[in-house]
Structure 1
Amino acid sequence: MQYQSRKDVPIAETWDLTDIFKTDAVWEQACKEVEESVGKLKAFDGAITDATSLYNYLFTSEEVGTTFKKVYVYAMLHLDLDTRDSKAQVLLDRAKQIGVKLSAATSFFMPFLLSLDENTLKKYIAEKKELSYFEEDLLESFRYKAHVLSKEKEEVLSELGEALSVPSTTFGMINNADIQFGEVTNEQGEKVQLTRGMYSKLIESPDRNVRKEAYKAYYKPYLESKNTIASTLAAAIKNNVTLSRMRQYPSALQKALFPDKVPQDVYDNLIETTREHLSSMNHYQRLRKETLGLDELRAYDLNAPLVKDVKNEISYDEAFDTMLKSLEPLGEDYISTLKQFKEKRYFDVRETPGKRSGAYNLGLYGVHPFILLNHQDDLDSLFTLVHECGHAMHSHYSSTHQPQITAGYSIFVAEVASTVNEILLIRYLLNVTTDEQMKKHLINHFIDSFKGTLFTQVMFAEFEKTVHAKAENGEPLNADAFNEVYEKIFRDFNGEDLVFDDEVKFGWSRIPHFYRPFYVYKYATGYAAAIQIADKLLAGDAETKSAYLQFLQSGSSDYPLELLKKAGVDLTTPEPIKHALRIFDDLVTEFEVLLKK
């Protein structure tokens, strides 16, 4: 359902942001408290001389950081509800400015900490028992010793924080606020305003003319802005490469992998192992072309339904109930907690003009998770709901079972929590359906989920690796360079059966994740890990259930690869990726058999 105004959306399907601050005035007071604390934190510069002063700084910094995160999130969530809202833009700008001041005030600490002898630090920890709370983080910081600059340089970089984020901010405004897709013709022959939510429905239309028109209209503003967007992406990549060099990392990729302690072999193995299985993806594309009866398979045919006469509509309430049933292998506490999330309005459900596109979960320690959706009352939206609830429950469990310092979790493990839920849902739906057409449709959905979450993300990961390498080698980055890299990789992944429209090579221009470098590969590793875990959960493996719930409660209490090993998945070997890709092979083969019945 498409709403023309937030006022039309039922209140039960909207966020209650008063859970963070009751009013803007209370938010403003919190802003002033943080600003006043900036001076207190700055005063510690040069004044940390013993265990007590070290503890006092760390305690104050965490306390101020907690308040600041609430200040920032309150502003950000308001703006995400309507990116055109000038008042919300002012709130977020104010929060960002405070963040820069806070970052500058605390920038002295890491160089100071790493100037200490490690034995001196351990002596401080032994002297003041309260420092044991910070011990792991303090000792972990010594891993970064070779990558931290002088106090003066760190302060300059902190001051430049807002400027360095401009490429990402600019793309966000272009993508969410400025780009207009114009009108297209829907399946009823009516002219409608194209939105991202509407596009996701029209690109799946059985009517090829509708798909083509929607596809062309969707890409048109990106092609018209190709040079502007290329400049923002190039700037983001160059910023990342420059910072990586300044901090003396071997490469931008190594810098991205360092915090999670992920060997580059894991990243490279993901790409290489997936490339070894591209024959099954090419098999699927040929099957798609044959099933649709096309002389030429084009990009706007890749989401067309291969199974007809299937009921795809599912209301939000029905979707929520279906999700709860599918997640029963995770236990009663998991289910009852999710019910409370809905009752307490942790979800903002509907697409409205100006609202941020897509979906996400944001866990706010000391408050609760906030889940943004753009729900369209269809099967895809059900899967999105299940996915984001996986993140939200991860946030909830980690916040409940971990102290603040380890309650956050790496994106690397985050994608496991969301994808386990998706796998449980698809297996549940396949088990309960008695309709042969629906079974075909669900297997097709499973295949497309595999394609989107594993193959496509690996393709994006290879694109990122290639264009960052170009920047590191001093090669030019512009629209033509991005097109050349993207088109080559896309052709490899999709096979010779796909006939290329000009729009295909501009796929890079619409991907927000490229402004968070080397992020997307974690979707693919998460998917592979989730396949293994979900299969064991569905087999009734009590040990896996216990280990997985423990994993959800672990936050960042260990490195991601170690947390996953405890949950039964070892991503330092190719096996989890190979296992997942074997299942993809089997699904494509099973789908072909069902189609020919």
Structure 2
Amino acid sequence: MSTQQLPTRDAVPEKLTWDLTTIFKNDAAFEVAFKKVKTQLPTLKTLDRPFESADQLVATIKQILATFRQLEIIYVYASMKNDQDTANTTYQGYQAQVDSLAAEVSAAAAFLDPAILAIPIVQLTTWLSESPALAKYSHFIQTITDSRDHILSGQEEALLAAAGDIFSAASQTFSVLDNSDLQFPEVTDENGQTFQLSDGVYSQLLQSANRSVRQAAFEALYKTYGQFKNTFATTLATEIKGHNYLAQVHHYDSARQAALAPKAIPEAVYTTLVDQVNQHLPLLHRYTELRKKQLNLSELHMFDLYTPLLGKPALTYTYEQAQATAKEALSILGPDYAKQVAHIFDDRLIDVCENQGKRSGAYSGGAYDTNPFILLNWQDDLNNLYTLVHETGHSVHSAFTRQTQDYVYGDYPIFVAEIASTTNENLLTEYLLQTQSDPKIQAYLLNYYLDGFKGTVFRQTQFAEFEHAMHAAAAANGQPLTAEFMSQQYADINSRYYGPAVVNDPQIALEWTRIPHFYMNYYVYQYATGFAAATTLANGISTKQPGALDHYLDYLKAGSSAYPIEIMQQAGVDMTSADYLERAFAVFEERLDQLEALLANLN
């Protein structure tokens, strides 16, 4: 039987690719726009002088934001062209050029924060009260003045900004190695079909009902990563050192504090999440025990944690079927939301298929002046339906924000981003549970929900613990972040999370080598907080609580017009409290009870 190979990029049907000509008609137009941004660098540098009036401050802010606005467009085009085929040297070059230009622009504009801080507080307050044009930027200015103790001189900030592409080099190296250079072996599924292993294929095979297929995929994947563990240790250690260095020079107590401070996220949000998850680990242990019992295994391995407990029912989705189901499930969010979903699905804003060299995983991306695009690596299963709904949540969030807010507030912080996507996931779960009456499918959906909770709340918090432990180890005593050290630390945390029912396979100690989010500076915890907050929001929408939908849509339109904690409080979720986490764990326990009862009747 022949091996199924991934298609080359030019073999993918056009209708299943995103239409980046809506950004630039062709590469030549991109190059013209690139040069235009580059020519603005001298102008930005001339703006570096003390502010003498509110009008001068407004004009400077406008000029800097206008340049960044144009930069974002060329950045999105270059990065998405590169992501669709990371082996394409032309777009590798575009990505590198834009990364360097972004560092140059950041360096040229780095004077702004120190210059605003140099304005006497009384003078700045007077300008804000007397100038409506400046008052428009009051929250923007507040985010700067709130960081007064952590902003260096203009010259020092410029030097650090100019080194931006150096600080991102480890992440770029990881991306090229992970997405382009690694050569994975061929593996065979339960039907005897041979596949070239990839992240997308791996996620499929790990759900196989055939245990030998799961084990073979698991061992093949980590054998490949294990061959390069020292290289991955070097890239991750370099990234962590960069985070720690930037935190230190900006006078933060830790890299975590530095990562959370710009959006005024209290560190208590992070520590409360970790504490609450650890307190509720017995629920995860109970679930792994149920999995071991239901699968009738003497030993439960890490490669056994993703296969459905009752096997896969007849619940697969082609891409077209997934779109139709997603539209129905999200219709509860109203006509304006549905209109945005139709635009995303019908107007080539999604890059659907996996192809050779394509970036793994999925994301929603774009700039203020572009469409909200989605990258997928489609497989015909329930997981990919959830991925489609998840990324659609991000894209509609982006569209509503950009349609409502001016550019200065036309983006949203990562902290609130995952709430929009996981609210969609929760709404999909409710829809499927209501529309699927077969007890086996009901059990499958409950199993899927619990797996999703495990992967989003428990697993992402596990990642967050590891991430912080590595930053702390490197900062506190200069611990060398070798492959051996990181693997041992990861294995210990993994064992504690999954409990005594799961064999702590030696390969799982290498999982840190393949997690791109470890290069995103305290990003992963927000998946967990977002999922928990989304549980409350989705419940309010599903049960049609008064004002719930309106408050949710207002949140989607708020952008960065206030601090994220404030935006979520206005939406009805206080993320400084443990209450929202406890409610999320209550839902997990309730659905675990339901699954146990269903399985007892079915067995």
Common fold: TM-score over 0.5: yes
Match of residue 29 from structure 2: 26
Identity %: 39
- Could you say which residue in structure 1 is the equivalent of 2:553? 549
What residue is the counterpart of 2:216 in the other structure? Answer: 213
Q: Out of 364, 369, 372, which is 2:367 matched to?
A: 364
User: Which string of whole-angstrom CA distances, capped at 9 and with x for unpartnered residues, describes residues 116-173 of structure 1?
Assistant: 1122223444554422322321233111111111222112111211111111111111
Counterpart CA distance in 2 for 1:54 and 1:389 is 38
Quote the residue 2:94 is aligned against: 91
Letter in 1 for 2:382: L
CA distance in 1, matches of 2:131, 2:527: 41
1:78 aligns with 2:86: no
Q: In the alignment, which residue of structure 1 is the partner of 2:571?
A: 567
Counterpart position of 1:229: 232
Q: Could you say which residue in structure 2 is the equivalent of 1:455?
A: 458
Say which is worse superposed, 547-556 or 331-340, in terms of deviation: 331-340
Taking the aligned partners of 1:88 and 1:318, their CA distance within structure 2 comes to 33
Aligned partners of 1:37, 1:127: CA distance in 2, in Å? 31
Does the 8 Å contact 2:467/2:522 carry over to 1? yes
SS, match of residue 259 in structure 1: helix
Distance (Å, rounded) in 2 between the aligned partners of 1:58 and 1:570: 32
- Is the 2:568–2:574 contact (alpha carbons within 8 Å) kept by the matching residues of 1? yes
Matched letter for residue 315 of structure 1: T
Distance 1:460 1:517 in 2: 12
Q: Of residues 146, 149, 153 in structure 2, which corresponds to 1:146?
A: 149
The range that moved more, 5-14 or 483-492, is 5-14
Q: Which residue of the partner structure matches residue 155 of structure 1?
A: 158
The letter for the 2-side match of 1:471 is A
The aligned counterpart of 2:344 is 341
Helix, strand or coil: the match of 2:373?
Answer: strand
1:293 and 2:293 correspond = no
Q: Find out whether 1:495 has 2:499 as its counterpart.
A: yes
- What residue is the counterpart of 2:278 in the other structure? 275
SS in 1 for 2:503: coil
Q: Distance in 1 between matches of 2:589 and 2:139?
A: 43
1:466 maps onto 2:448 in alignment: no
1:567-587 deviation digits (Å, cap 9, x = unpaired):
111111111101111111122
Contact 1:2 1:352 survives alignment (8 Å): no
- Letter of the 2:37 partner, please give it: V
Whole-angstrom CA distance in 1 between matches of 2:148 and 2:576: 25
How far is 1:180 from its partner?
A: 1.7
Partner in structure 2 of residue 512 of structure 1: 516
Q: Would the aligned equivalents of 2:117 and 2:148 in 1 still touch at CA under 8 Å?
A: yes
Unaligned runs of 5+ in 1: none
1:582 alignment counterpart? 586
Q: SS at 2:187's partner residue?
A: strand
Looking at structure 1, the residues matched to 21 and 105 of structure 2 have their Cα atoms a distance apart, in angstroms, of: 25
Deviation, 1:2, is 7.3
Moved more, 264-273 or 47-56: 47-56
How far has the Cα of 1:319 moved from its partner?
0.5
Residues 30-75 of structure 1: per-residue CA shift (max 9 Å, x gap): 1111111100010112264333332222111111111111111111
Residues 459 and 490 in structure 1, CA contact (< 8 A), matched pair in contact too: yes
User: In the alignment, what sits opposite 1:376?
Assistant: 379
Report how far residue 201 of structure 1 moved. 0.8
Q: 1:399 aligns with which of 395, 402, 424?
A: 402
Match of 1:200 in 2: 203
Classify 1:183/1:3 alpha carbon distance in 2 versus 1 (closer, same or farther; 3 Å).
Answer: closer
Task: Tell me how far apart the structure 2 counterparts of residues 71 and 328 of structure 1 sit (CA, whole Å).
Answer: 34
Match of 2:188 in 1: 185
Q: Which amino acid aligns with 2:444?
A: H
Output the aligned Cα RMSD. 1.4
Aligned ranges 1:113-152 → 2 under 5 Å: 113-126=116-129, 128-152=131-155
With the length of structure 1 as denominator, give the TM-score of the two structures.
Answer: 0.98
For 1:567, the aligned partner's letter is A
Q: In 1, Cα distance between the equivalents of 2:273 and 2:5? A: 39
- Contact 2:9/2:85 (<8 A) preserved: no
> How many angstroms does 1:253 deviate by?
0.9
Residue identity in the other structure for 1:386: V
Q: Which one-letter code corresponds to 2:486 in the other structure?
A: F
Candidates 528, 531, 543, aligned match of 1:527: 531
Other structure's SS at 2:297 match? coil
Q: Note the C-alpha offset of 1:309.
A: 5.3
- 1:475 has 2:497 as partner: no
Aligned equivalents of 2:122, 2:456: Cα separation in 1 = 46
Q: Secondary structure at the match of 2:263?
A: coil
- Residues 244-272 of structure 1: per-residue CA shift (max 9 Å, x gap): 01100111111111122121111111111
Alpha carbons 2:23, 2:370 under 8 Å: kept: yes
Distance, in Å, in 1 between the alignment partners of 2:420 and 2:85 is 28
1:540 aligns with 2:544: yes
How many residues align? The count is 597
Query: Equivalent residues in 2 for 1:320-339 (5 A)?
Result: 320-339=323-342
